[in-house]
Amino acid sequence: MRVGLLQEGDLTGTTVSERYHQIIDEVALADRLGFSTWGTSEQHFSPPSFSIAAPEVLYSAIAMRTERVELRTMASVMLKWNHPILVAERLATLDIVSHGRAEVCTARSNNLTTLAAFGVDPADTRDQWEDGMDALMKAMTEDRLEHHGPVWDIPSVEVVPKPVTKPHPAVSVAASSTQSHSNAGIRGIGSITFDNYFGFDYLQECLDAYRVAFDQSDHSQVAAPNDYRGLYVATAYCAPTRQEARQTARRVAMEYFKFILDLYVPLASKPGYTYLDTLEQLIAHQDDLDWLCEYTPSVMIGTPEDFIERIKRVEAMGVDEVLLRIDGVGHENIKRSLELIGHEVIPAVDSSASAFSPR
């Protein structure tokens, strides 16, 4: 069971410039401690919780400070403002400079502000993602890319560079609905369950939907099928005592949860987002951190023992990797949490990981 890290540049108590350099130092530490993966999302117009709008630039800087941690975009938004050729070119460049450590997770956005700013109708996001994915896979694997789809019409061109990982870096999708998990399984790509505040039963439904779709689909035409299943933990923080952990992370946990509710409530009525039709329970507990820590897989705040127990629970459900969002609690607190997880949690759940000293 792998333990990865996801950060989004929370600006609480700092500036964008300071936070970016802190993140680079934090990922270098995580690399030494045995964390499996680091990534960030592409977010626009949502400070202070989210400040990374051009993640590809940050990935390259981090590649120069790390040696073994996988660098996965989480996620590249495959809508009309991100041409699939540009996504392919940037991914290949990262794969080259990181010596084959690049991966790509893609997504369709659930942020109505972002969709409006870039002129995308929420009802069109699934179709745009589907066609963008088709074009991206061709761009990474074919000598010349030619694609004529409902969204992208691309004449024959040679895309340069190509990734050093053959046939291409691992591909997954950020999925919140059972339908998105099924679509990933049909395509033969990995899935990462994102923003799942709907409980462990719903997580199991999503994982099962993926498993059934993957096992029942023909992937003979897929260059590199993979059945990776990740879980994004939207707020994570580890401390020596549960009281200290929840006291330190309370503000960021509740602010993030309310941010998600602000996205979910207006989005629930939009076509293609019908999995958001039962929000009453979440709204009723929007100020209850203790309930969130017990009910939802998206919050993991506690001691190393709490982390080990939770990680083993989701591993038994079919999760291959947890991706911990440790952000917004201050640079020194983040480093202390990373050290605790690296020294006490990772050795207990991932026998393949070990801390190391860079050359």
Tokens coding 6: 């996801």
Distance CA 123, CA 79 (A): 12
Contacts of 281 (CB under 8 A, 6+ apart): none
CA distances from 246 to 4, 250, 253, 255 (A): 21, 5, 9, 14
Q: Taking a C-beta distance cutoff of 8 angstroms, is the pair 354, 7 a contact?
A: no
Distances (CA, A) of 230 to 7, 105, 134, 150: 16, 11, 22, 30
Under CATH, which architecture does the 2-349 domain have? Answer: Alpha-Beta Barrel (3.20)
Nearest CA to 81 out of 127, 128, 35, 45 is that of 128
Instruction: Answer whether the bond into residue 48 is a cis peptide, omega within 30°.
Output: yes
pLDDT per residue rounded down to tens, the chain (359 residues): 999 999 999 999 999 999 999 999 999 999 999 999 999 988 899 899 899 999 999 999 999 999 999 999 998 999 999 999 999 999 999 999 999 999 999 998 878 889 999 999 999 999 999 999 999 999 999 999 999 999 999 999 999 999 999 999 999 999 998 999 999 999 999 999 998 888 999 999 999 999 999 999 999 999 999 999 999 999 999 999 999 999 999 999 999 999 888 877 777 766 666 555 567 888 888 899 999 999 999 999 999 999 999 999 999 999 999 999 999 999 999 999 999 999 999 999 998 876 554 43
Q: Reduce the DSSP state of residue 35 to 3 states and report it.
A: coil
Nearest to 62 by CA among 51, 47, 73: 73
Backbone angles phi, psi at 145, to 5 degrees: -95, 125
C-alpha distances (whole Å) from 347 to each of 242, 307, 316 are: 20, 12, 18
- The amino acid sitting at 293 is C
Threshold 0.85, pTM exceeds: yes
Which contiguous run of DSSP H or E holds residue 174? strand 171-175
